[in-house]
Structure 1
C-alpha cells in the first residue's frame, strides 16, 4: 500500500549533546533519553518506502528550528520543517522572515507551539496569539496543532477566525484511546473538521493506546472517526518517530496505518500517504501527479 514516494509528515529528531529535551522525564519516557539522528531514521524509512519526511519541533526555543533547517538544507530525507517561534512576540513576522533567510529556510513549511502544555484552555484565542497566527498565515506557512481534547474547542474557534491559515491537527487531538472513550473528543473533532481550512495527521495513536493494545482493532474507532470527519483528502500519515518507539517500531506504525485505511480506494490511500502532505506543506518532492512547489 505504501511504497516509493511515501511521505512521513510527522517525526522528530534531537541531539542531547547539543540541546536538552526537558519534556523527557520519568521512567515511562526513559527510552527516549538519548539522541535520535536522521541517520537512525533513514534505514527504517527506506525499508517502509518513505522517501521524504517532515520533521517537527519538540521544544519551544528558537535555536532548535535553526538547527532543523540546517539539517534540511543538506538535502536527503527531510523535505520540510515545522518549527517554532514565539507567536506572542511583537516582532513575530520579522522572526519568521529571519528563519526564511537562514540556511534551509526554504524548507520551513509550518510552525507549532506546545499548546498541550499551556494551562489556559483558551490560549489559542488570546489576542497576542491571534496576531502571531495571522503572521504565520501571512508567511504562507501552515500551523500544526498539538492539543488535548479539552483544547479542541479553542482550536476550532481559532481556525474559524483565520480562514486563510491551514490548521494541521497532530495526533488526532490525542484521543483517550487507552480508556476506549470516544466522547467528547469525537464531537470536538467533528466540529473542527467542519472547517475547510483544517486537516488532520494520522499520527501519534500508538502512544495514546495502552501498552500492547495499539493494533488496528484498538485504534480503528478513532481512525474511522477522523476518516469520516475530514475525509481521506484531508488526512496525512505521520509516524511520530521516535516517540512511537515507546509502543512500536517504525515498520509496525506504518503497517498499522495501512490497516486503518485499507478500506479506501487506491487513490485515497495515495492521498493519505503521499499527496496530502505535499499539498498541505508545499513540499518540493517528486510525487506522481503533484507538481512540486
Structure 2
C-alpha cells in the first residue's frame, strides 16, 4: 500500500508560519523515521513526499531524505513555473528520478494567478518531461481550477484533499457540482486525503466525512482515486491509524481489485513508481 500524500520538515517558525498556535502538535520536526511504526502496523510500504515549502531547496531536502529512507517512493517537488528558464530547470531535475511531479500552493493564490496564461504555459511544459501535477486548492477555487485544466488536456493531474470541501459546515452542494465537472476530465485523479483539517478537528463525525467520500467515489470511481493521509497535518485532529481506518472502512464496499487500485495501483501508475 502507498500513502500518496505526506510532508516532512525541519520546523522553522518563520518559513512555516501557516502552522499556528492552534497546531502545537505539528510545530516540530517530522522525518520518515516517524512513519516507520504506523506503516509497519498497517502494512503500508511507502509514501509520496509532497513539498511543504516553495523553493528548489525543498527538492534537495526531500531527495536527501529519500536517499536515506526506503519509505519515500516518489517526490512531488516545487519549481517556479513562471521561470523563463523553466526548461533548463526541468532538464536539471530530470537527473533525479525520485521526483515524479510538481505542486504549487494554489490555495494561497487568487483566480488571476491560476488562470495566468504564463502559469498555464508552464504546466504545459511538464508533459514533455513526463511530470505529474498536484492541484492544491480550496473548494471555492474549483471553478478556476476547472478552467485551467481544460486548457491542458493531456497533462496528468491529481486533486489534493478532494478539493478541500467545507466538511465542518457540510455546505457541499456547489463543491459537489464542481467535482462532477472536474471529474469529467479523464486526466484528473483525486486523493482521498486531508479532510480532517477541513472538519471540526475534535468533533467531526464519520457521516460528515463519508458524505464527502460519496461524492468523490461517485464521480471519479475507484480507478481514479488514491489513498493519502496528509500526515503530519492530520495529527491536529487524530492519530494516523484513525484516518487510515476511516478510509479502509468506507472502501470495504468495493471489490478486492478496486481496493487495490485505491491503495496502490493508481499511485503506482500515476506517479510511475
TM-score > 0.5, shorter chain as reference: yes
The CA RMSD over aligned residues, in Å, is 1.6
- Residue 154 of structure 1 pairs with residue 147 of structure 2: no
Q: Look up the match of 1:15.
A: 10
Q: Secondary structure at the match of 1:132?
A: helix
Q: Tell me how far apart the structure 2 counterparts of residues 281 and 171 of structure 1 sit (CA, whole Å).
A: 17
Q: Look up the match of 1:60.
A: 54
Unaligned runs of at least 5 residues, structure 1: 1-5, 284-293
Map 1:217-232 onto structure 2 (within 5 A): 217-232=207-222
Tell me if the contact between 1:233 and 1:276 (Cα under 8 Å) persists in the aligned partners.
Answer: yes
Q: Look up the match of 1:212.
A: 202
Q: Tell me how far apart the structure 1 counterparts of residues 19 and 193 of structure 2 sit (CA, whole Å).
A: 19
Q: What is the CA distance between 1:205 and its match in structure 2?
A: 1.0
Offset from partner CA, 1:233-292 (integer Å, 9 cap, x none): 000000110000000111111101112222111111111011000001001xxxxxxxxx
Which 10-residue stretch deviates more, 192-201 or 63-72?
63-72
Q: What is the CA distance between 1:164 and its match in structure 2?
A: 1.4
- Residue 39 of structure 1 pairs with residue 33 of structure 2: yes
Unaligned runs of at least 5 residues, structure 2: none
Counterpart of 2:246 (choices 256, 259, 262) is: 256
State the number of aligned residues: 273
TM-score of the superposition, structure 1-length normalised? 0.89
Q: Look up the match of 1:193.
A: 183
Q: What is the CA distance between 1:19 and its match in structure 2?
A: 9.1
Q: Look up the match of 1:96.
A: 90
Q: Secondary structure at the match of 2:263?
A: helix
Q: Look up the match of 2:106.
A: 115
Q: Secondary structure at the match of 1:262?
A: helix
Q: Taking structure 1 as reference, are residues 209 and 197 closer, same or farther at Cα in structure 2, changes over 3 Å only?
A: same
Tell me if the contact between 1:177 and 1:219 (Cα under 8 Å) persists in the aligned partners.
Answer: yes
Tell me if the contact between 1:216 and 1:259 (Cα under 8 Å) persists in the aligned partners.
Answer: no
Q: Taking structure 1 as reference, are residues 208 and 89 closer, same or farther at Cα in structure 2, changes over 3 Å only?
A: same
Q: Look up the match of 1:202.
A: 192
Q: Tell me how far apart the structure 2 counterparts of residues 216 and 116 of structure 1 sit (CA, whole Å).
A: 26
Tell me if the contact between 2:115 and 2:144 (Cα under 8 Å) persists in the aligned partners.
Answer: yes
- Residue 49 of structure 1 pairs with residue 43 of structure 2: yes
